[in-house]
Structure 1
């Protein structure tokens, strides 16, 4: 593997054309479809395997001395250069490796980790042009084999990701890196080809950017361009708080505490069981410590005196109903009689927003495991503005706007496309249908409930052969990516939904998205995202039906349990959790 400081970077890909976006949409829908199958999170549970668990003496404490995590799945890889964001291995990588900066519990702000400071323009570690990031590193960090972690280690790790360039890893996120330099043993510098305001969040803090031990990697297969490293797939070369003890395929992975860790040491060793089917049952039997579960299973454990159910962590996906603002009337389902410009009228979009029964939808379809959400960034993400505005059910306002737009007396019939296998999305479509038709008997809504494969195919058509659709926003964590996807008139959904036909000033929206995505100043970014969110509200570009929560239940014998939706799924941080000498009393 070459380590020259003048290695050329990759240029960021330009916006794809409209046709290409349409073809890519089907793939994107499949990639971000966990909730379509009814999941709000990957289900975890814990139970004790005595042969693998370190000794513990806590009398009366289930699984004393070990945090045992059970999952339905098995990691596909533990290699930061290979693991996919949708693989539970991403959470394992997040827990066992270190990165330059970190995401703490209960916050979207970045904090130092291997770097002693988070680069900003104020501290001079980001250049004024936003192209150069400098990371002064800690001097006391050692890999598990005792060798020091240096700036060359970081450079090797990131170059390795780029050289392997495995599609599942999202290595293309590093495309704007032009040059990496180890200025000295403890100063790492990155030069970008163009400003990228999300660089720290989408790259430096992600599992992809975890720092590996170069000597260990080179000893075990090294780096081959375009190819995974089989040894790194099933082993780790880390400086982090855990060491991998063993991986028994189809059974478990066990992690022991790194007693020489430079930071706050982990409290308990971890046993990650795989292919566990009955997680809730194990928690009820006190053979489980923590479960992150689907909403329809919460009732099985809620109300037990020794179990706490936490629904306070929001997911980062927004359930939404989309408006088709570039309708081809000839492609609509039989019976639809709306014109091409129906949803280009902001009064119509607002009327639909005021008609939707938000509280009834959350209480009924989502069983209460969700909260109201506004535009355009979800709660829990940097840049979210709680004051940007959200629509409430107001049938008087809906009637007023339908009258002003000329549709109250005229009436209409229109369609909503939905994957019928996904209860949250099907429920939203039916809730809107019921509310609209009750508002005015001249209004009619056809819910096109189709199989998943048909839904994907129809959503990839250009234009979409329906007036609306019911789905969810993608599982993104960087606000720049979210704004580009959900708000930019030339972004993915902007092209699919015809946002340029709906915005009063689409170029202004594009400028806001692009400045926010390139500004290195987080305060400026937050201001821009707030302005963008307010504009999206004023223009009523979506119906944001809810932000679902990530329910988590844990035994009261476990302390320090917290979660952050910005952490890789299932959004748990093993090192924070502990077990006291005696069980907690409620």
Structure 2
């Protein structure tokens, strides 16, 4: 009866704010949780839940981004010249349904991910490793069931075997991604999800799993299991049958609270242990230094952000006259490297760091966080230089650009103050160079910007990339390859850079990979396809009785509330 009464009290807590008990963690989020199906998890809000209800074969060792350790696996071997991975799997593990975990569940999981793969699911990079293409069978007719079935299989000893068509130095890191968490195959099939059979696989190709039955009622092997979820609240509780160390915190409550002021008030009262903040400037003013608050600063930032300069703008509405006549721009305006270099010298990086990041920012030399291998601090970087900007503008288009001027229309993400301020800084500096230069900036809904930029319809946008897996390939290929995820937004190609990036993908020699990425960074500086935005410095704040979140164990690849920590590692004093 005590257990029933306690649960009833906790359920009441999820509907109305109350002081957070010692055995309960309350996190107030600004957004909802789109899915709890690992097969389509590709956002931080979903990842923060999935990574705690489910488990992957491997995980990060503490705060390290380069060292991986077994989780549902116990060990692995690599053979066949780096193309075959054999995993021994943990025994005595149960799913929340009560089903025993086996190799069949792991095989089902990865085959399901390959079958349902779409660009929105995050499984494209798994498909690149196992099938040699990021496409699914609907987009690439060479993908057959035989190829999928061969890519991942169980042997007679119960070991899981991956057969890669080519070496992939990032493969293990990809397996640590929350979206590759192992699914309860019998339970999923019982809900009406794919049954894992060849006879039905084509019915599930590219299928959107966001609102799948498995998302609504998940069953993982993680330390916590779902109790309930509605549009505003999620409640999870510690799984009594968990194979690992029992967590100190019994209950997890995630509440969607849209208003920042309401989240701040609940946090300062102690009703919430963690909240989504409002950005450094706001949080330092409203939260830092207040009673009962712990503030952890100077943490690594794994997001890379840039101005995209589209070299083939497929939206006449943004082109004005469509000519270099002072009344608009041609669709290929940014194809001239001198234009891109001039724009790069026209942005005031230090002003952005001072005014927007409140001094807590730094310039990078590449669109690769410095904590990843391959980052070269010696690569040159652009600084705000009016003379150099003017010089390159005068070279552009044989001097016609400087003589005639231009009108550029650029959109920024509505509601994003950092993006707006960045655009305003660039606009002011460009227009101050030449009275014939005009930049029109306007706010646009993020969902519309995402679609239009993917279709090449934005002239200039500001976008960032957070890593799916902890390997430099996830940044360098994404940003700089003509086959990369972001290329449709940029339409830029450099054959030498493409060659270096493919070479880096095909070797496990770390020294060689780092050399190749350095070469890409140097060539990218010369070609200036992007204006690199200064990187912010991460921080966390929490109630001071919460234990387990610190700079020493912070791993930026772990999503939950930006703490870099799993639920099972937290406790309260």
TM-score scaled by structure 1? 0.74
**1:280 alignment partner, one of 238, 260, 264:** 264
**1:435 alignment partner, one of 429, 452, 465:** 429
**2:558 alignment partner, one of 558, 562, 567:** 567
Query: What is the aligned partner in structure 2 of residue 488 from structure 1?
Result: 481
Query: What is the aligned partner in structure 2 of residue 38 from structure 1?
Result: none
> Displacement of 1:74 after TM fit?
4.0
**1:125 alignment partner, one of 75, 78, 98:** 78
Residues 109, 569 of structure 1: CA spacing in aligned structure 2 closer, same or farther, 3 A cutoff?
same
Query: Contact (CA 8 Å) 2:301, 2:535: kept in 1 or not?
Result: yes
Residues 470, 185 of structure 1: CA spacing in aligned structure 2 closer, same or farther, 3 A cutoff?
same
> Displacement of 1:369 after TM fit?
5.7
Q: How does 1:56-455 map to 2 (within 5 A)?
A: 63-81=21-39, 83-86=40-43, 88-114=45-71, 125-128=78-81, 130-139=82-91, 141-144=93-96, 148-163=100-115, 169-175=121-127, 176-177=130-131, 178=147, 179=150, 180-202=152-174, 204-221=175-192, 223-224=194-195, 225-226=203-204, 231-244=213-226, 246-250=227-231, 252-258=233-239, 261-277=242-258, 278-295=262-279, 297-298=282-283, 299-313=285-299, 316-325=302-311, 331=322, 335-336=326-327, 343-344=334-335, 346-368=337-359, 370-381=361-372, 383-395=374-386, 397-398=388-389, 410=403, 412-419=405-412, 421=414, 422-438=416-432, 440-441=433-434, 444-449=437-442, 451-452=444-445
Query: What is the aligned partner in structure 2 of residue 30 from structure 1?
Result: none
Residues 523, 260 of structure 1: CA spacing in aligned structure 2 closer, same or farther, 3 A cutoff?
farther
> Displacement of 1:544 after TM fit?
0.8
Query: What is the aligned partner in structure 2 of residue 39 from structure 1?
Result: none
> Displacement of 1:346 after TM fit?
4.3
Q: Which runs of 5+ in 1 are unaligned?
A: 1-47, 55-60, 501-505, 581-586
Give the length in aligned residue pairs: 510
Higher helix share: 2
Query: What is the aligned partner in structure 2 of residue 15 from structure 1?
Result: none
C-alpha distance in structure 1 between counterparts of 2:214 and 2:56, whole Å: 17
> Displacement of 1:293 after TM fit?
2.0
C-alpha distance in structure 2 between counterparts of 1:443 and 1:157, whole Å: 58
Residues 183, 521 of structure 1: CA spacing in aligned structure 2 closer, same or farther, 3 A cutoff?
farther
> Displacement of 1:304 after TM fit?
1.1
Query: What is the aligned partner in structure 1 of residue 15 from structure 2?
Result: none
> Displacement of 1:185 after TM fit?
4.3
C-alpha distance in structure 2 between counterparts of 1:243 and 1:458, whole Å: 39
Residues 269, 550 of structure 1: CA spacing in aligned structure 2 closer, same or farther, 3 A cutoff?
farther
> Displacement of 1:382 after TM fit?
5.5
- Could you give the per-residue CA deviations for residues 16-40 of structure 1, whole angstroms, max 9, x where no partner exists? xxxxxxxxxxxxxxxxxxxxxxxxx
Query: Contact (CA 8 Å) 2:75, 2:89: kept in 1 or not?
Result: no
C-alpha distance in structure 1 between counterparts of 2:11 and 2:330, whole Å: 66
TM-score scaled by structure 2? 0.75
> Displacement of 1:100 after TM fit?
1.0
> Displacement of 1:388 after TM fit?
3.6
- Could you give the per-residue CA deviations for residues 282-316 of structure 1, whole angstroms, max 9, x where no partner exists? 11111111123231641321231431334544554
Residues 49, 547 of structure 1: CA spacing in aligned structure 2 closer, same or farther, 3 A cutoff?
farther
C-alpha distance in structure 2 between counterparts of 1:138 and 1:520, whole Å: 27
